Amino acid sequence: MKIAGIVAEYNPFHNGHAYHIERTKDAVTGCGATHIVAVMSGNFVQRGEPAILPKSERVSAALAGGADLVLELPLPWAMASAETFSYGAVSILDSLGCVEVLSFGSESGDLDLLSKAADALESDRFSGLLRLYLDMGISFPDARQRAVREIAGSKIASLFKAANNILGIEYLKALRRLNSNIRPFTIQRFGAGHDEELPVGDIASASAIRRMIYAGRVENAASFLPLATRNIIHKSLQDGRCPVDIALIEPAVLGALRLLSPEDYAKLPDVSEGLENRLYEAARKSGSLEELMFAVKTKRYPLSRIRRIIMAGFLGLKAGHENRKPPYIRVLGFNRRGSEILSLAKNSKIPLVSRVSRFETLDGYAREVFELEVKAADLYSLAAPKAIPCGSEYTYKIIKVDI
């Protein structure tokens, strides 16, 4: 048995994700994994938005697409910067105690280059150079790239132009920070890149697929999705469970933000250097989320960061989790091979939760994180075409296949 871990959002699960799993299992061109465990974001994703499909549907698509065990990345880490997102997910895989390989996609496909980029970020010079460029009014991505260029040269710095390279570099940092025995393995992405508008062959970016679904053009997206995903989406559409759309809760989000004080904004993740005042003033004037985001956005604060802050304000997510590990491992779904992984993980470093009642026996921090998940799920359901009553986290049924 060789267990590989994958970090994902599967928003939704598409052909590129299926290829990644297939390559991870390949004994010749991949790492020969016999079992796949995926750590997947729950109701909200890193972009600071609700996932387009409820997590039960995304778990089912992942299991149909080759994953054997799906675990949840809790909200504070799922909706966070690349560094915090990666650290939270990798710490869950490390805590299982049986994962041998971390498989991830990257535009580079060169593990040695990505490792050198991680070295640059951990250099004694990096933080000083980053601060220098930020103080010059340069955006964080550009400031980071310039700092790395000075430390490691242009070739390494150019890696930071691509989103999956950045995540890969953060995975490597997380493995080092955890002193993990998990071995990294990267697969070069092909086809459409992250957030690209146009598909390449039968590969389209998840964002392009979401745009098709939101526009009611599900059939246009069909060729970029495995058959199982297509069927799951069609059933979810019929049941009024998707597409989950932030536009449906926009007034509620704006209303919640108008009730926050500057002190409340200061307690949100990623808020610093007086940004709370800018957020407070913009929230009181803006009539739409787009207007609010562009009122707050500067070179220093990109839209992705602003979106996460806005959603954190709506969900009641405070800063502080980024310096901690997820306090539990929650099982969302598994098949026969997944049950074999769970058998090996019985002595995991943190509690393994397969029943909601188990949260009642855990310490205060674990219950605090789960309660955040509960509240987020209740608000998430309002963004679906057919809203459901509160309490869906308590009634969530683990997806079980082939057992």
Chain centroid to Cα 99, Å, comes to 20
Name the band, by pLDDT with cuts 50, 70 and 90, for residue 299. Answer: confident
pLDDT for residue 319: 96
113 is a domain residue: no
Domain count, the chain: 3
For residues 325 and 91, give the distance between their C-alpha atoms in angstroms, rounded to a whole number.
7
- For residue range 193-249, what is the model confidence (pLDDT) as tens digits? 555 666 778 899 999 999 999 999 999 999 999 999 999 999 999 999 999 999 999
pTM: 0.95
Q: Flag whether 313 is in a domain.
A: yes
Q: What is the pLDDT of residue 198?
A: 64
CA distance 116 to 211: 36
* Co-location of 286 and 314 in the same domain: yes
Q: Among 302, 321, 340, which residue terminates a domain?
A: 321
**Same domain flag for 229 and 103:** yes
Q: Are residues 93 and 181 in the same domain?
A: yes
| Nearest Cα to Cα of residue 348 among 69, 67, 122, 103 | 69
The answer as to whether 360 is a domain residue is yes
Are 24 and 91 part of one and the same domain? yes
Tell me the two tokens of residue 87. Answer: 């650290």
CATH code of the domain covering residue 339: 3.40.50.620
Are 175 and 312 in the same domain? no
Q: Same structural domain for residues 346 and 298?
A: no
Domain that holds residue 138: 118-161
**140/236 same-domain check:** no
- Within this chain, do residues 83 and 141 fall inside the same structural domain, yes or no? no
Question: Which residue among 301, 321, 341 closes a domain?
Answer: 321
Are residues 188 and 86 part of one domain? yes
Q: What is the mean pLDDT of residues 75-97?
A: 97
Question: Is 369 a domain residue?
Answer: yes
Mean pLDDT, residues 292-311: 89
- What is the per-residue pLDDT for 31? 92
Instruction: Tell me the pLDDT of the chain averaged across its residues.
Output: 94
Indicate whether 227 and 196 sit together in one domain.
Answer: yes
Whole-number pLDDT of residue 153: 97
Per-residue model confidence as pLDDT tens digits over 145-183: 999 999 999 999 999 999 999 999 999 999 999 999 999
Same structural domain, 153 and 174: no
Q: What is the mean pLDDT of residues 115-120?
A: 98
360 and 349 within one domain? yes
Residue at which a domain ends, from 298, 321, 344: 321
Domain membership of residue 292 (yes or no) is yes
Q: Whole-angstrom distance between the N-terminal and C-terminal Cα of the chain?
A: 19
Structural domain includes residue 112: no
198 vs 316, higher pLDDT? 316
Strand pairing category for 329-334 and 69-73? antiparallel
- pLDDT score at 137: 85
